[in-house]
Structures are given as C-alpha cells and as structure tokens.
Amino acid sequence: MCGIAGRILAAPGRVGADLVDLMDAQEHRGADSTGFAIYGLPRETGYVLRGMGFDKSRQGADLDAFEAVLKEHGADFLSDPKILTDENRHYCFRMEISDPTDLQAWVRDADELTDRIEIQSCGRSLEIIKDIGGAEGVSEKHGVRDMIGTHGLGHARLATESSVLPNASHPFWARPFSDVAIVHNGQITDYFTWRDKLTRMGYRFLTENDSELIAVWVSDQMKAGLTMEQALKKSITSIDGVFTYMIATPGGIGFAKDRFAMKPLVVVNRNGDLAAATEEQAVRRVMTEECDVINYDGPSLTGIWGVGNRSLAA
C-alpha cells in the first residue's frame, strides 16, 4: 500500500503546499518515506538537479568528482550547490547547472558515480524532493511548502518489495530524459524479468524498488518514439502486476491503471484546477468546497490532464 497524488493549478502558485497536504492526508498509507515532484516555472537554459550523496563525510570528494564530470561535458555549476545535512548519513543537494553538450551522454557518465552520489531529478522545471519520513517532516526539512509551480506529484511509501532507503523513495525520474517523473502505487510482479531485459539494453537501475522499473520502462518507450499516451496504454498490457501510476511532464500529468482495477484513483477536476489522489479524503483537503469527484475505479484506464485549462482525460 502506498499513496500517490497529483496536483495541477489553474495558475502558477503554491503547488508545494497543496502536495504536502495531499500527502499528509495519506500518510497512513505509507509513512516510511515521502517524496514530491514539483514543476516550477521553467528556465530557458540550464537545469536544476536534485539528488543525494550517501555518506556526508565524503561530501567534498563527491562534489569534486561530480563537478569534474560536468566540466568534461562542457557544463558547470551556475551557482554554489546547496547541500542539506541532518543526523542521517545521507545528504541532499540542489544544483543549478548550465547545459551539458549532450545531456544523455553526461547523465550516463555522471551515473558512474551512483554508488556515492546520485542525481534524482534533472529538469528545466522539475525538482524531485524525496526522503525518509512523513509528509510534514520531509516538507519541513526541504521547504516543500514554499515551492511555487504549476503542477506536481506526491508519494507516500510503504515499502513492500524492497528496503526503506532514502533513494528508494518516490517519485522516480525517468533518467536520462529531463523533466519526466513518476509515482506508483502497487506491485510489479514481473519486475526482475523486465529489469534483466532493460539492464541488458544498457539501462541503469539505482535501487531495488519495483517502481523505478516503470520510470525506466517509460524512458525506453519514449526513446523508441512513443508519445506519453501511447506509452501509458502499452504499459497496461506490457507490465504485469497491480498498479496505478502517474507520470508528469512539463505539459501535464498522465495516469495508467492495471487490468485488474486493483488500485484506486480519485480525481477532482474543475476546469483544469485538478487534484488526484489514492483516497478521496486527500483531495478533499485541497478542494474544500463541495465538489464532484471522479472515481477512476475501472480496469485498464489511462488519461492525460494538461497544464493550463486543457483537459484530455480519457
């Protein structure tokens, strides 16, 4: 059991605060880790990176190695990296970098460092914040309530298939594609079969979390040229298990549900002002006026909600 949420604002605003509320209302579904994917106002050039290093005592050496790879790819920090540490062994970072010559090539090389330091999101507007702990705790540590943006995702994790580790929290970035994130509620039963197949194709898995598979699988489909809508539909017959997952891009949020209709999704959509969550009581935290909820309870459902008063849910 996990809890997921999506939020699209009618106009850029305090999307971080709403996502914290959505996840706080679902903390009972999984309190071991919480994460957020927030789409801020997009920058024209350069990327924001979010991620973590696993041993804060090696922070200096990690960042030097990271910077060296960045420079090899013709990019540099645009500002000093912001580092967040607490009593935990891992540390979290936020960096602003200029454009590498070839983003995918740089991500591939930077991923050589993932036993020490790991990029967890890369985007013109996407920032993924994830950590161990509940919604309010993670929010307080990372200042999520103050984050401004257009839309985003949230996740509360109850680890059922792999360990509780800070980097095994959701959302997952669909590396190496900038600005794509997923959250997932469910279990992928053919995880190892798919993981094997994708690893042999050269994809890198950084955790043992089955949800990471969806992010990597979607990356592969995007590489093959599928649109989000096509990838969502294809996932229902390609990936085995029970799931509701949401995928976000700068253009909006899509969702897919498994063919057994095992995991819920509740949505309030008021002309593009949209809140989606696993549980109705969560959407009612942010949609406080009486409103109609849509229960996407059926099997094999997909849909895409656009940002900016565009609604294409099917």
Partner 1 sequence: MSNAARQTDEIVIEVGQRHIREVNQDIMAACATGRPIRVVNTLSRHNLGVGLPDNVDITFEGSVGYYCGGLNTGANITIERNCGWAAGEGMAKGHITIGGYAGMSCGAAMIGGTIHVKGDAGPRVGVAMKGGNIVVEGKIGYQSGFMAHAGRIIALGGAGESCADALWQGEVWVAGGIDSLGVDVDVIEPTPEEVAEVDAILDPLGLVDSSRNWRKLVSGQRLWYFESRDASAWLMI
**φ, ψ dihedrals at 161, nearest 5°:** -115, -15
Among 298, 309, 310, 312, binds partner 1 (CB under 8 A): 298
299 binds partner 1, rule: CB under 8 A: yes
141, containing H or E segment: helix 135-142
Residue type, 291: C
d(Cα 279, Cα 285) in Å, to the nearest integer?
11
Task: Please tell me the count of residues contacting partner 1 according to CB under 8 A.
Answer: 13
Nearest to 182 by CA among 218, 157, 226, 207: 218
Binding-site member from 68, 281, 310, 314 for partner 1 (CB under 8 A): 281
Q: Is 284 in the site for partner 1 (CB under 8 A)?
A: yes
Question: Rule CB under 8 A: is residue 1 a binding residue for partner 1?
Answer: no
* 62: contact with partner 1 by CB under 8 A: no
Q: Is 29 in the site for partner 1 (CB under 8 A)?
A: no
56 vs 284, beta carbon nearer partner 1: 284
CB of 295 to partner 1, least distance (A): 6
Could you give the CA distance from residue 144 to residue 19 in angstroms, rounded to a whole number?
9
Cβ neighbours around 7 below 10 Å, total: 27
Exactly one of 2, 92, 122, 291 is catalytic; name it.
2
Is 2 catalytic? The answer is: yes
Of 261-280, binders to partner 1 (CB under 8 A) are 261, 264, 279-280
Q: 232: exposed, middle or buried (C-beta count within 10 Å: 0-12, 13-18, 19+)?
A: buried
Q: How far is CA 274 from CA 12, 18, 223, 277, 290, in A?
A: 13, 11, 29, 10, 14
Kindly tell me which residue out of 68, 295, 310, 312 binds partner 1, with binding defined by CB under 8 A: 295
> In terms of CB distance, is 7 or 175 closer to partner 1?
7
Positions marked catalytic: 2
Contact footprint for partner 1 (CB under 8 A): 259, 261, 264, 279-281, 284, 290, 293, 295, 297-299
